[in-house]
C-alpha cells in the first residue's frame, strides 16, 4: 500500500508540474499578444487521512489562475482607432453583428474596420457601443449588456445636418438710447427710413439641404425703469433683404423681450433666456441667450456657437477620451456616431477566459456592471494606445526551469517506488 502511494504521489507531482509548464508555454507564446493576461499555476496539498500505523502519502493538486487585474504596459500608435483602458474595465465585444451573437469582455483594443465598416479586433470580435441620435447622450444600461450594437463607421454618402441648436451671448450697452415703439424692427421692418435699433449681429445656420441661412439679429432697448431694462430681440432672414439690412420683405422669424437687472447687469430671474427660431426649410430650435449681459461697455458678442453642416463627405473617424466616436467631415465638422461603454465585474480574476483574448462572466466573478470611461470607478480611455501582454519573459523562463527540475525530481520518486516494488516482487522467486 505504501509503495503504491509513493508512486501515485510521484505521478501527482508530475501532473501538477505538467500543468504549470502548460501555463508557462501559453504565456511565452502570447508574450506579444495585445491585451493578453498571463496564466499561473498554484498548488495545494492533497493529504490522506493518517492512522496510527504507516504514513499514507497524498499528493498535490494544481489550480490555474489568471492575472487579469494586472495591467500590461501601454504602447502608443498612430491609429485613432487603437484603444487602451488605463485602470478598471473591459471593452464589450460580440462574436457577430446579429442579435444572436454572443457578447464578451476584452482588453484587446486594436480595432480596424472590416469590409462592411464594422470595427473588429485582431481576433475578429466586434466592438459594441451605444448609437447617438440627434446629439443626445445615449441611455446607459448599468447592469447588463442590452442596448448595444456593433459599431459601423462606413459613412459613404454626403450628409447635410440642419441646425438644431445655437448659443449667442452678447453684452448690450447700458447707455444705449431707448427706441420708440413705432420704430422697432418688429414693427417698422419694411421701412429703411424710420426703423431704429440699438445693436445688430448675424448668425450662419443651415437648412435641411445644407444651404447656409444668414440670420440677422437686432437688439433694441425699449424701456428702462430701474431695476429693469427691457430689450427687444428680433431675428430676420437675411434673404428677405436686398441690401443686408432694412427694409425686409417679411416680418421677423421670431421676437423676444429680454429683461436685464440694472443692479447686476445679468438677465432678471423672470426674463426669458432663449428665443425660438424656425429656419425656412430647416429645423426649429432655440437660440440660447442665458448669459447675455447689460454693462457699461460697447456691444460685444462674447460667445457664439451653432451646430449643423453643409453637404460634406466623411473624411475619417476618431474617438474622444470619453468614448465618443466622431465622424470627421471634409469641411471640419464633427458628428457623434457612437459612445462606447466599459464593463467591469466584482472579481475580474475569476472571469472565464476563452479563445480570442475574451472573457465571460462566471458565478465567481460576479455580475457585469457597465458605465462610461472615467465614471464610477471605471478606468480612463486612452486613444492611440494599446495594452501589451502582462507576461514577464524572465519570470516565465525561471518558472520553466524550476518546473522542469521539479518534474524530474518527481519522476525519480516514481522510479524509486517502482524499483522497491520490483524488489518486493523478486522476494518470492
Length in residues, the chain = 429
Rounded mean pLDDT of 335-362? Answer: 92
DSSP one-letter code for 405: H
Within 8 A by CB and 6+ apart from 397, the residues are 28
Find the range with the poorest average confidence among 47-61, 162-176, 326-340: 47-61
pLDDT band at 272 (very low <50, low <70, confident <90, very high): very high
Domain positions in the chain are: 2-70+390-426, 87-153+314-350+363-377, 160-311
What is the four-CA torsion angle of 186, 190, 196, 200, rounded to 10 degrees?
A: 70
pLDDT band at 422 (very low <50, low <70, confident <90, very high): confident
Output the pLDDT for position 313.
76
Higher pLDDT, 226 or 137: 226
Answer whether residue 372 shows pLDDT above 60.
yes
Residues pairing with 293 in the sheet: 171, 266
Cα angle for residues 194, 212, 243 (degrees, 5° grid): 25
Percent of the residues in the chain that have a pLDDT greater than 90, as a whole number: 69
Output the pLDDT for position 424.
78
**What CA–CA distance (Å, rounded) separates 107 from 144?**
18
Residues pairing with 40 in the sheet: 65
Answer whether residue 1 shows pLDDT above 60.
no
Report, in angstroms and rounded to the nearest whole number, the Rg of the chain calculated over CA atoms: 36
Rounded mean pLDDT of 331-337? Answer: 80
344: which 3 cell numbers?
467591469
Rounded mean pLDDT of 92-111? Answer: 92
pLDDT band at 99 (very low <50, low <70, confident <90, very high): confident
Answer whether residue 183 shows pLDDT above 70.
yes
| Cβ atoms of residues 169 and 289 within 8 Å | yes
| Cβ atoms of residues 250 and 240 within 8 Å | yes
pLDDT band at 156 (very low <50, low <70, confident <90, very high): low
Report pTM: 0.66
Cα 411 to chain centroid distance, Å, stands at 53
Answer whether residue 101 shows pLDDT above 60.
yes
Residue-wise pLDDT for 279-297, tens only, equals 999 989 999 999 999 999 9
160-311: CATH architecture: Sandwich (2.60)
Output the pLDDT for position 157.
65
Output the pLDDT for position 161.
83
Q: Is 400 helix (H, G, I), strand (E, B) or coil?
A: helix
pLDDT band at 413 (very low <50, low <70, confident <90, very high): confident
Output the pLDDT for position 315.
81
Rounded mean pLDDT of 368-389? Answer: 93
Rounded mean pLDDT of 238-258? Answer: 95
Output the pLDDT for position 328.
85
Output the pLDDT for position 50.
64
Residues pairing with 166 in the sheet: 287, 306
Q: What is the mean pLDDT of the chain?
A: 90
Output the pLDDT for position 360.
94
Percent of the residues in the chain that have a pLDDT greater than 70, as a whole number: 97
| Cβ atoms of residues 61 and 17 within 8 Å | no
Q: Is 349 helix (H, G, I), strand (E, B) or coil?
A: helix
Amino acid at each position: 500500500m505504501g509503495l503504491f502511494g509513493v508512486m501515485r504521489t510521484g505521478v501527482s507531482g508530475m501532473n501538477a508540474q505538467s500543468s504549470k509548464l502548460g501555463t508557462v508555454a501559453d504565456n511565452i507564446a502570447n508574450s506579444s499578444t495585445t491585451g493578453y493576461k498571463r496564466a499561473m499555476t498554484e498548488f495545494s496539498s492533497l493529504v490522506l487521512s493518517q492512522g496510527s500505523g504507516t504514513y499514507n502519502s497524498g499528493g498535490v493538486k494544481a489550480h490555474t489562475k489568471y492575472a487579469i487585474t494586472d495591467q500590461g504596459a501601454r504602447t502608443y500608435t498612430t491609429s485613432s482607432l487603437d484603444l487602451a483602458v488605463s485602470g478598471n474595465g473591459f471593452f464589450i465585444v460580440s462574436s457577430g453583428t446579429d442579435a444572436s451573437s454572443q457578447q464578451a469582455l476584452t482588453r484587446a483594443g486594436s480595432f480596424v474596420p472590416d469590409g462592411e465598416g464594422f470595427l473588429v479586433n485582431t481576433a475578429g470580435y466586434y466592438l459594441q457601443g451605444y448609437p447617438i441620435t440627434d446629439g443626445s447622450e445615449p441611455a446607459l444600461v448599468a447592469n447588463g449588456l442590452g442596448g448595444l450594437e456593433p459599431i459601423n463607421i462606413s459613412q459613404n454618402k454626403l450628409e447635410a445636418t440642419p441646425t438644431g441648436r445655437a448659443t449667442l451671448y452678447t453684452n448690450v450697452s447700458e447707455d444705449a438710447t431707448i427706441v420708440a415703439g413705432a420704430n422697432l424692427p418688429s414693427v417698422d421692418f419694411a421701412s429703411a427710413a424710420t426703423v431704429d435699433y440699438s445693436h445688430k449681429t448675424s448668425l450662419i445656420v443651415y437648412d435641411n439641404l445644407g444651404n447656409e441661412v444668414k440670420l440677422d439679429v437686432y437688439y433694441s432697448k425699449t424701456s428702462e425703469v430701474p431695476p429693469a431694462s427691457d430689450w427687444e430681440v428680433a431675428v430676420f432672414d437675411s434673404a428677405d433683404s436686398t441690401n443686408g439690412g432694412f427694409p425686409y420683405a417679411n416680418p421677423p422669424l421670431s421676437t423676444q423681450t429680454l429683461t436685464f437687472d440694472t443692479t447686476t447687469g445679468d438677465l432678471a430671474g423672470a426674463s426669458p433666456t432663449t428665443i425660438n427660431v424656425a429656419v425656412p426649410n430647416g429645423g426649429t430650435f432655440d437660440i440660447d441667450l442665458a448669459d447675455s449681459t447689460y454693462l457699461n461697455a460697447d456691444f460685444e458678442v462674447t460667445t457664439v456657437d451653432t451646430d449643423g453642416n453643409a453637404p460634406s463627405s466623411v473624411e475619417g473617424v476618431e474617438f474622444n477620451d470619453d468614448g465618443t466616436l466622431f465622424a470627421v467631415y471634409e469641411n471640419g465638422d464633427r458628428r457623434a456616431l457612437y459612445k462606447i461603454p466599459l464593463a467591469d465585474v466584482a472579481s475580474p480574476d475569476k472571469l472565464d477566459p476563452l479563445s480570442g483574448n475574451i472573457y465571460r462572466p462566471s458565478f465567481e466573478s460576479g455580475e457585469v456592471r457597465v458605465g462610461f470611461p472615467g465614471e464610477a470607478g471605471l478606468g480612463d480611455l486612452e486613444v492611440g494606445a494599446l495594452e501589451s501582454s502582462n507576461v514577464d519573459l524572465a519570470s516565465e523562463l525561471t518558472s520553466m526551469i524550476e518546473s522542469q527540475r521539479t518534474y524530474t525530481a518527481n519522476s525519480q520518486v516514481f522510479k524509486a517506488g517502482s524499483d522497491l516494488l520490483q524488489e518486493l516482487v523478486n522476494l518470492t522467486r
